[in-house]
């Protein structure tokens, strides 16, 4: 996005350009099922998720399941992240399966950005309007999936979307227990 006139520094992301940080969750059908579209680009994922309604819903026990997150998120009992330094065969297998499963979100984001080129171009409008465009194109993406419209078939560069930062905050002990149980079950 083009540099906003107010609080410009807050929109400079880790890659050095202006953006909105969008947190999304998708399902196995590559449809968006949750999105948080309001934080300036300098905001780290480790701040966005704990302040989201999705996190609160999981914390209240209203969802029976798990989220798969990358290394930019804190491990929790309901948010599974990869092992930082896997040292057993079970942990390495867990990380491989985790990466394959998480690649669904990378492909979803890739299809969404290719279908709606405005998501890849510098946009000279306000951050609020960009948030609205993001939300609208996500809805249109889901409709295109429902209608089984063909995806724009360009090569996906998943490396472009992967978070390279590693979460360095506290890790929930119950998250370690759940992740270890899953890794052991993958024998």
Q: Does residue 133 lie in a domain region?
A: yes
Residue 63 CB partners (closer than 8 Å, separation 6+)? 57, 78
Calculate the CA 48 to chain-centre distance: 11
**pLDDT at position 106 over 90:** yes
* The token pair that represents 56 in the structure block: 């609160």
Q: Does residue 13 lie in a domain region?
A: yes
| Stretch 57-82: mean pLDDT | 94
Which residue's entry shows tokens 């880790």? Answer: 14
Q: How many domains does the chain have?
A: 1
Q: Does residue 2 lie in a domain region?
A: no
Q: Does residue 102 lie in a domain region?
A: yes
Please choose, from the candidates 66, 92, 76, the residue with its C-alpha nearest in 3D space to the C-alpha of residue 187: 92
- CA 163 – CA 71 distance, rounded (Å): 7
Top pLDDT among 17 and 89 is at 89
Mean pLDDT of the chain: 87
pLDDT single digits (tens) 21-43: 999 999 999 999 999 999 999 99
Biggest alpha carbon–alpha carbon distance for the chain: 54
Q: Does residue 14 lie in a domain region?
A: yes
- Reduce the secondary structure of 9-52 to three states and give it as a string: HHHECCCCCECEEEEEEECCCCCEEEEEEEEECCCCHHHHHHHC
* Parent domain of 138: 8-185
Residue 160 pLDDT grade (very low, low, confident, very high; cuts 50, 70, 90): very low
DSSP one-letter code for 6: S
Q: Does residue 1 lie in a domain region?
A: no
Please classify residue 93 by burial: count the beta carbons closer than 10 Å to its beta carbon, then call 0-12 exposed, 13-18 middle and 19+ buried.
middle
Q: Does residue 111 lie in a domain region?
A: yes
* The token pair that represents 97 in the structure block: 């399966």
CA distances from 62 to 25, 59, 65, 77, 147 (A): 17, 8, 10, 14, 30
């Amino acid at each position: 996005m083009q540099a906003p006139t107010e609080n410009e520094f807050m929109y400079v992301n880790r890659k050095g350009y202006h953006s909105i940080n969008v947190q999304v969750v998708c399902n196995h059908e590559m449809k968006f099922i949750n999105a948080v579209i309001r934080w300036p680009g300098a905001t780290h994922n480790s701040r966005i998720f704990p302040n989201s309604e999705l996190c609160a819903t999981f914390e209240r026990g209203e969802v029976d399941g798990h989220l798969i997150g990358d290394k930019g998120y804190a491990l929790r009992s309901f948010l599974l992240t990869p092992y930082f330094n896997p040292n057993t065969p079970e942990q390495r297998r867990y990380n491989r399966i985790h990466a394959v499963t998480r690649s669904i979100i990378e492909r979803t984001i890739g299809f969404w950005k290719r279908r709606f080129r405005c998501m890849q171009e510098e946009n000279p409008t306000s951050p609020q309007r960009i948030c609205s465009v993001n939300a609208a194109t996500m809805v249109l993406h889901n409709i295109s999936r429902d209608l089984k419209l063909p995806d724009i078939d360009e090569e996906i560069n998943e490396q472009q979307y992967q978070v390279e930062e590693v979460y360095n905050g506290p890790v929930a002990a119950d998250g370690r227990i759940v992740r270890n149980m899953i890794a052991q079950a993958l024998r």
